[in-house]
Amino acid sequence: MNIQLSDHFTYLKLVRFTLPTMVMMIFTSVYGIVDGIFVSNFVGSSAFASVNLIMPALMMPGSLGFLFGTGGSAIVAYTLGEGDRERANRYFSMLVYVEIAVGIGISALGLLCLSPIIRALGATERMVADCRIYGGVLLLGLTAFMLQNTFQSFFVAAEKPQLGLAFSLAAGFTNILFDFLLIYVCRMGVLGAALATVLSQMVGGLVPLLYFSRKNSSLLRLTRAKPEARPIVRTAVNGSSEMISNLSLSLVNMLYNLQLMRLAGAGGVSAYGIIMYSGFVFYGIFLGYSIGSAPLIAYHFGAQNLNELRSLLRKSLLLMFAAGLVMTALAELSAQWIAGIFVGYDADLLQLTIHALQLYSLSYLLSWFPVFVSAFFTALNNGLVSALISFVRTLVFESAMVLLLPVLWGLNGIWLAVVFAEALSLLLSLFFLLRCNRSYHYLR
């Protein structure tokens, strides 16, 4: 049975509607993990550390895809809720065209600045060449990567989350297949890993572009559109929270790497890279649900269905709380297995990674709340509050903890920094959720 944005959502229907987006986020993370596994086991620990060192810098421009996706889909879903499908398609088309132009420009600029960026990240002479190869290839595919992130949200707004999942699965299998062919069979090393990633991003970003450019059965289609300042600004404000969250996360990851190079060397960077790979899966549940439910919230807010809006908030908080408990338990129980997949060949690095994973995973008990609340305010077209939560959560709280806690507890302080940051973020998110109820009345 087809689920529509205008439906009343029970717990089961809410899970069914958001499940494709959650699976999409998880699977996207899984094929990233496969990339890391191939590099670590078949190219070497130095190459693995190099990829993890340059990756946060590459994710920064890619975060613009979340700005266009989450910010734009909230506006498009709101416009659909108002009953103006023609205008919704015009906004959708314009935002995609603007994003393509922005992506091409950033790719060119990034290629010009790549060498100074690599040096600033603290790469050793042994790591520079691999960083340059991996970074250069991924910058060439940046526009496709941005579109892939964007269409994850727009497929939900178009009432086609299952199709979004299908494209994500196709991209993932493409990456895994070419990892095997280019790294294991052809022995192309870091270059093979980069090419496999870009090919998968083309499947995830450019093929959906072709889908929306033709007549289709979804609510959205690319049409002729001229730049309009107001929806572009609203998209930038609305989506700034998700962009800032990903941008700040990249900056914080670079800060982690600088601290780890000082305290534990390349081994510490490798351990943190494994934490990030596994964290993408566990956070993927929270982020996937938040992205998947945001168009529902935006639609019912646009239609002024307050009872359904309140129901969605209440059910979402309960579902996310349960997910937080389950994700924490799974992360703790699987720490040894996850570490073994990546660095089972190095006993010392294996033990370091297991210990780091077990400490870091405690954050999943708390992180679901600020992730969802930030996305909730994006769906309400309140980009300011959403961006403030995201900015303070990562760039302020987590950066402060990464700098402060190692002074008190050494290396353990780095692994625990996120736990303390998420605790502070939970309190901040709760404050805004209660305070803004005066304007939106989503709580009785």
Contact partners, residue 97, CB within 8 Å, separation at least 6:
225
Give the span between the Cα atoms of 325 and 364, in whole angstroms.
8
Average pLDDT per 10 consecutive residues for the chain, totaling 444 residues: 74 88 76 80 85 83 82 85 87 92 94 90 83 93 91 84 85 90 93 93 93 89 87 81 72 86 84 86 88 87 88 95 96 93 87 95 96 91 85 90 93 95 96 93 86
Classify residue 149: in a domain, yes or no.
Answer: yes
SS3 content of the chain, % helix, strand, coil (to 5): 85, 0, 15
H helices present in 43-188, as ranges? 45-62, 64-66, 72-81, 85-120, 125-140, 142-157, 161-179
Residue 288 in any domain: the answer is: yes
User: Cα–Cα distance between 341 and 116 in angstroms, integer?
Assistant: 33
Closest C-alpha to 246, from 56, 37, 433, 96 = 56
- Residue whose token pair is 């209440």: 314
Please report the pLDDT score of residue 418 as a whole number.
Answer: 94
Query: Strand, coil or helix: what is 123?
Result: coil
**Spatial distance between the Cα atoms of 8 and 29, rounded to a whole number of angstroms:** 31
Written as one letter, the residue type at 230 is R
User: Quick check: is 1 in a domain?
Assistant: no
DSSP state of 43: T
Whether residue 182 lies inside any domain: the answer is: yes
Specify the pLDDT at position 241.
66
* 3-state secondary structure at position 173: helix
What is the structure's pLDDT at 242?
66
How many domains does the chain divide into? 1
**Both structure tokens of 288:** 């996937």
Tell me whether residue 6 is in a domain: no
Q: How far apart are CA 298 and CA 239, in angstroms?
A: 13
Cα gap 315→224, rounded to integer Å? 39
- Residue 339 and residue 361: Cα distance in Å, rounded? 13
Domain membership of residue 121 as a residue range: 11-440
Q: Kindly report the number of other CB atoms within 10 A of residue 16's CB atom.
A: 14
Give domain status of residue 5, yes or no.
no
Quote the CA–CA distance of 198 and 109 in Å, as a whole number.
18
**In a domain? residue 3:** no
pLDDT at 352: 93
What does the alpha-carbon distance between residue 131 and residue 110 come to, in Å, rounded to a whole number? 13
Q: Is residue 4 part of a domain?
A: no
Give, to the nearest 10 degrees, the angle between helix 411-435 and helix 399-409. 140
Neighbouring residues of 295: CB distance < 8 A, sequence distance ≥ 6: 5, 73, 74, 77, 153, 156, 157, 379
Tally of CB atoms within 10 A around 216: 14
